[in-house]
Amino acid sequence: MGAWSNLKKIFYTEKDDYVNDIEDVLENELQPDMSQTVIEVLKNEEAKLEPVSLGKKPTDADVKNYIDSNCGRMSTVQQQNKGLRREYEKVTGYLKDIELIEAMDSERKNALISVASEIVELERQQKKVRKQSKKITEANYNTMYQYEDIMNKELTSMKKKEKFQLDIKSDMRHLEGEKAGLLYEKKERYSRHAYFKTISIGLSVMIISLFIFLLIVATFSNIDMTIPFIIVIAVSGLFILYIFMGVRNNRYGMALVSRKLNRAINLLNSVKIKYINNTALLDYLYGKYSVKSADELEYIWGHYLRIRDEEEKNQADREKIDELEKELKTMLNSEGINDTNVWSSQVVAIIESREMVEVRHKLNVRRGKLREQIAYNDEMFSQSAGLLAVLMADKPEYEKLVREGVEKNKISDEFYEFLQ
């Protein structure tokens, strides 16, 4: 139960830090930058998730919204991790392929190098056409060649992610503004509460003083003080009614603001998780294709297609290269290489160990980024699952709602595994 207690301290208590000026929040908006890495984003204060409190007396609607928000976040990161893990396995497969190539015996390795060398020599003739263009580098060309079959799909996907990134930032700015306004209103409500407390104390002192004064006058004089007593009582009653109604309305307003604030923070947390994951995906794609935006990738892809058209004119060399590449793939298949297609674009690495080291380094960088994003998603899942676990432990009557929520979002297996 110690773990649940710690989670409860962190996530299940209400914060009393209020914003003194709404502009303080809005001045720190995230600036559009498509080339941000996920590490840079995680350092931004705006990207950090915020605690949400249900308060002392939450309504059934508050609890259901709280459960749905956490289940929704858990489902989102689980779905994202499925795709990330597939890509991670693919990159790991490339690294294993490198190990298999390096472990080949000298005779088969020399035969492979011989074929690779012929391809490189013929490719040098083709490079003359590329140099005339001077629009893209040889590295750009090799990357486009490697992913030629999927490039149109990848380019469309990158553009959609960039548009989604801008939409997410717009949503974050809107929600940050809404949250700042609600925090300001909550502060005003607390100030009004203090105001009513002050005037109630002052009114009590004044009424008591007036009654004492009237009693003294009535005791030491023959003046009838009935009417003054009635007036004081009547005025006091009006003041008391004013304070009572004011406090009552203010408490209702405070409860309403708290519910709205929790809703805004819940939405903001969900948007932040989407923002961080989308940033990480873009960062990964930019690294994979060595670009900083979809526009740059489109520019390189367009010039690559034009260069390929020119190369196709020299049909004899192109056909010879295709034959050698088929032979190279056959030899790699016989060694148990998982993906033979990628080696057509990085055939130099088969010949030169320095190039192979560079290929391995790039793959390790890609795998590291994927690992970081998977770990982040796992942490977000654990946080939301921990909040629901605390809720179930403190309020067993809500256990059925939690179980229905995880079933509906198809995360029950992962959630129950977390509870064990």
With a pLDDT cut of 90, the percent of the chain lying above it is 8
Average pLDDT, integer, range 46-69: 72
CA 95 to each of CA 101, 293, 386: distance values in angstroms, whole numbers, following the listed order:
10, 27, 36
Does the pLDDT at position 96 exceed 80? yes
pLDDT band (50, 70, 90) for residue 158:
very high
What pLDDT does residue 134 have? Answer: 62
**What interhelical angle do 294-313 and 138-146 show, nearest 10?**
90
pLDDT band (50, 70, 90) for residue 193:
confident
Q: Give the range of the structural domain holding residue 371, as residue numbers without chain letter.
A: 2-419
The domain total for the chain is: 1
What pLDDT does residue 14 have? Answer: 37
The enclosing H or E element of 102 equals helix 60-102
CA 92 to each of CA 357, 360, 366, 371, 388: distance values in angstroms, whole numbers, following the listed order:
15, 10, 10, 11, 35
Does the pLDDT at position 284 exceed 60? yes
pLDDT band (50, 70, 90) for residue 10:
very low
pLDDT band (50, 70, 90) for residue 315:
low
Highest mean pLDDT among 161-170, 179-188, 274-283: 161-170
Does the pLDDT at position 17 exceed 90? no
Tell me how many degrees the CA angle 67-178-264 measures, rounded to the nearest 5: 5
pLDDT digits (tens, 9 = 90+) for 111-153: 988 888 888 888 777 666 556 556 788 888 888 888 888 899 9
| Total residue length of the chain | 420
pLDDT digits (tens, 9 = 90+) for 233-260: 787 778 888 778 877 887 787 878 888 8
Residue 366 CA neighbour count, 13 Å, CB half: 23
pLDDT band (50, 70, 90) for residue 322:
confident
**What own/partner pairs with CB < 8 Å and gap ≥ 24 does 258-261 have?**
258/14, 258/53, 258/55, 258/186, 259/55, 259/59, 259/62, 260/182, 261/179, 261/182, 261/183, 261/186
pLDDT band (50, 70, 90) for residue 298:
very high
The enclosing H or E element of 250 equals helix 226-289
pTM for the model stands at 0.58
What pLDDT does residue 294 have? Answer: 92
What pLDDT does residue 130 have? Answer: 57
Average pLDDT, integer, range 345-365: 89
